[in-house]
Homo-oligomer: A and B are copies of this chain.
Amino acid sequence: MNPYRAPLDDIRFLLNTFDYQGQILPLPGYEDFDLDMAMDLLDGYSKYCVDVLLPLNGPGDQQGVRFVPETGQVLVPDGFKQAYQGFCENGFTSLPFDPEFGGLGAPFCLATLASEVLIACNKSFSMSPGLTAGLIDALEAHGSAEQKEALLPRLISGEWAGTMALTEPQAGTDLGLLSTKATAFGDHYKLTGTKTWITFGEHDLTDNIIHLVLARLSDAPDGIRGISAFIVPKILDDGSRNPVFCGGTDHKMGIHASPTCVMNFEDAEGWLVGAPNRGMVAMFTMMNAARLNVGIEGVALAEAAYQAALAFAQDRRQSRALDPKKQDPDHAADNILVHPDVRRMLLNVKSTTDGLRGLVAWIAINYDVMNNSTDPDTQKKAADLVALLTPIIKSFGSERGFQNVSEAMQVMGGAGYTADWPVEQFMRDVRIAMIYEGTNHIQALDLVGRKLPMGGGRLMQTFAGEITALIRSSKDDPRMAPFLGPLKIEAKRLNETTMAMSMAAMKDNEVAGAVASNYLNQFALVTLGYVWCRQVQAALALPEDDPMRRSKLQTARYYVDMVLPEAAMYAQKVSVGKGPMVDIDIALL
């Protein structure tokens, strides 16, 4: 039983909270997408996801993908191909892309919020259009005019699908180790090597698949500076089969309906994208949006698990309310929602899930501003926030998402552990989000090692400026005090942690590595504190009896009282430095 409904009311509230109209509608080309039209778009999209894709989610998990060794074919579960065709026909693959190539030209932030609904309904399915979108981004940014012309219309329409073929057996986190070779062949190249963990590397959703492949030119330098990006189509222009073959699919804990392929390139024909040895630039273009999307996977499945747990709890009676006044004389046991611990678990999930959705909405709006604003200062501020907070969304979103799915299962007891409910699948499906698109520790190193030092600490100053502006704008409102007070304390503590960590890391490289993961969590909790205060501010503008206002105020209270204090614990762990990790002798582990 899967009771999922798309959280469109919350999305509308968040678009208002982060001033969608004021931020987005002045951007060139977006004039058509006012809030009502935006919500209409999301509403239609959500209906298709709930009506068509959600019913395929459980069966797709059970059936899984099938690899045919004789032919190298990979068959998706029953119904997926038809559902994909409908998804394309509705134009859902084309939302945020350039109308010159058939895109709808909608704001990126709407496509991003829509993707939560898609993932919640069918995470495995969502991964194919997700990867195609990454390839489109890379081609829009780095492809030649000819490449764009040839590929973008078919990718944007969904007629063809894309992949990201980066990883090799010896080169995962460390792409500098990759060894796939590209040898010049007339105006293009021939690629030889083996790629692993290639999501939707082979499948029967589309007639053609376009691989974005990282490989080395024969004269390339070692390491990360010798990597180039290539386009390698499964089917060549003349209709012949390019020798890029699936060698097998992995058996995984979850996302059974999403093929994870070994791909063998056997002198496959490829075309350079961008400049030689500059492949990592194209990779990072894909990665930014992809990382945001992986954080959303945590939000999506936590939301779906929350709704299942709540539906279960609303029906379930066990034990007596601890407060005699709350006991129901007509039944031998009370509904479990009277038990404070059941509420605690539900609010753990709700306060962090709604908080993360708010963070995603804020950063996704800034993404559009970054890419489309004509004012350099506005653009730079937006770019700072996107760069700083994307690793936090990816890492904290996936980690807390996994914990939240587990907490929702706990509300349901044994029922949640069975396949009668979708939560056990969500737990299996969401766990990979902490690993792929850069493990969560890689996100933490990105935050600490790249984003904090950028521009002499400018990104952190931009973020602190947002907190200061919020505090200033609300300082005369006593209703905000219970929320702003804890935020101020934790923002100050984060500042102190950042300073102390930076000092220690300057003297010793290993400190940053040792503390980065705990630091990211501290940072994330403060960021969600900010996002919740923004939501409280917006909620206070609603009528007193508006259920959204009351829900937001009470959920925010739970967050500041019961979740935000975790930030102090992470600060304490960061303050310990590297000693307990680094000093231990490996042989004693």
Given contact pairs A173-B319, A340-B510, A550-B588, enumerate 15 new A-B contacts (beta carbons under 8 Å): A172-B413, A251-B420, A253-B427, A254-B417, A310-B589, A322-B512, A340-B513, A340-B582, A341-B444, A344-B517, A409-B435, A428-B428, A547-B588, A557-B579, A558-B581
A414 touching B172, Cβ below 8 Å:
yes
In the complex, the count of this chain's copies comes to 2
Pick 19 A–B contacts, CB within 8 A, sort by A: A170-B317, A176-B333, A177-B332, A250-B420, A251-B419, A253-B418, A341-B516, A341-B517, A344-B581, A406-B431, A409-B431, A409-B435, A547-B587, A550-B588, A557-B580, A558-B584, A561-B580, A565-B573, A568-B572
Cβ-based interface call for A301 (8 A): no
Cβ-based interface call for A297 (8 A): no
Q: Tell me which residues across on chain B come within 8 A of A94, comparing CB atoms.
A: none
Q: Tell me which residues across on chain B come within 8 A of A580, comparing CB atoms.
A: 347, 554, 557-558, 561-562
Binary contact track A436-454/B, C-beta < 8 Å → 1, others 0 = 1001110010000000000
Binary contact track A216-242/B, C-beta < 8 Å → 1, others 0 = 000000110000000000000000000
**A-B CB proximity, top 10 nearest:** A340-B514, A253-B424, A551-B588, A569-B569, A251-B419, A322-B509, A174-B318, A558-B580, A340-B581, A340-B513
Closest chain B residue to A548, Cβ basis: B588
Contact among B341, B402, B514, B562 with A344 in the assembled complex (CB-CB below 8 Å):
B514
Q: Tell me which residues across on chain B come within 8 A of A578, comparing CB atoms.
A: 340
Q: Tell me which residues across on chain B come within 8 A of A582, comparing CB atoms.
A: 340, 343
Interface of A, secondary structure class, is helix
Bound form: Cα–Cα A516–B439 in Å: 34
Cβ-based interface call for A127 (8 A): no
Contact among B222, B406, B517 with A332 in the assembled complex (CB-CB below 8 Å):
B222
Contact among B174, B252, B419, B569 with A566 in the assembled complex (CB-CB below 8 Å):
B569
Given contacts A435-B410, A510-B322, A576 and B547 within 8 Å (CB-CB): no
B589 touching A346, Cβ below 8 Å:
yes
B417 touching A253, Cβ below 8 Å:
yes
Bound form: Cα–Cα A576–B486 in Å: 13
Q: Tell me which residues across on chain B come within 8 A of A322, comparing CB atoms.
A: 509-510, 512-513
Chain A interface: which size bin? 35 or more
B550 touching A585, Cβ below 8 Å:
yes
Q: Tell me which residues across on chain B come within 8 A of A409, comparing CB atoms.
A: 431, 435
Seen from chain A, the residues whose Cβ lies within 8 Å of a Cβ on chain B are 167, 170-174, 176-177, 197, 222-223, 250-254, 310, 317-319, 322-324, 332-333, 337, 339-341, 343-344, 346-347, 350, 402, 406, 409-410, 413-414, 416-420, 424, 427-428, 431-432, 434-436, 439-441, 444, 509-510, 512-514, 516-517, 547, 550-551, 554-555, 557-558, 561-562, 565-566, 568-569, 572-573, 576, 578-589
B347 touching A581, Cβ below 8 Å:
yes
A319 touching B174, Cβ below 8 Å:
yes
Q: Tell me which residues across on chain B come within 8 A of A424, comparing CB atoms.
A: 252-253
B517 touching A318, Cβ below 8 Å:
no
Q: Tell me which residues across on chain B come within 8 A of A323, comparing CB atoms.
A: 509-510
Q: Tell me which residues across on chain B come within 8 A of A558, comparing CB atoms.
A: 580-581, 584
Bound form: Cα–Cα A504–B223 in Å: 62
Given contacts A341-B513, A584-B347, A585-B554, A417 and B439 within 8 Å (CB-CB): no
Q: Tell me which residues across on chain B come within 8 A of A346, comparing CB atoms.
A: 589
B554 touching A588, Cβ below 8 Å:
yes
Closest chain B residue to A343, Cβ basis: B581
A576 touching B561, Cβ below 8 Å:
yes
Closest chain B residue to A552, Cβ basis: B588
Closest chain B residue to A222, Cβ basis: B332
A241 to chain B, nearest CB (A): 28
Closest chain B residue to A339, Cβ basis: B513
B341 touching A514, Cβ below 8 Å:
yes
Q: Tell me which residues across on chain B come within 8 A of A318, comparing CB atoms.
A: 171-174, 177
Q: Tell me which residues across on chain B come within 8 A of A569, comparing CB atoms.
A: 565-566, 568-569
Bound form: Cα–Cα A286–B56 in Å: 43
Q: Tell me which residues across on chain B come within 8 A of A566, comparing CB atoms.
A: 569
Q: Tell me which residues across on chain B come within 8 A of A586, comparing CB atoms.
A: 337
Q: Tell me which residues across on chain B come within 8 A of A343, comparing CB atoms.
A: 581-582, 584, 589
Q: Tell me which residues across on chain B come within 8 A of A431, comparing CB atoms.
A: 406, 409, 417, 427
Bound form: Cα–Cα A444–B342 in Å: 13
Given contacts A318-B174, A569-B569, A253 and B428 within 8 Å (CB-CB): yes
A308 to chain B, nearest CB (A): 13
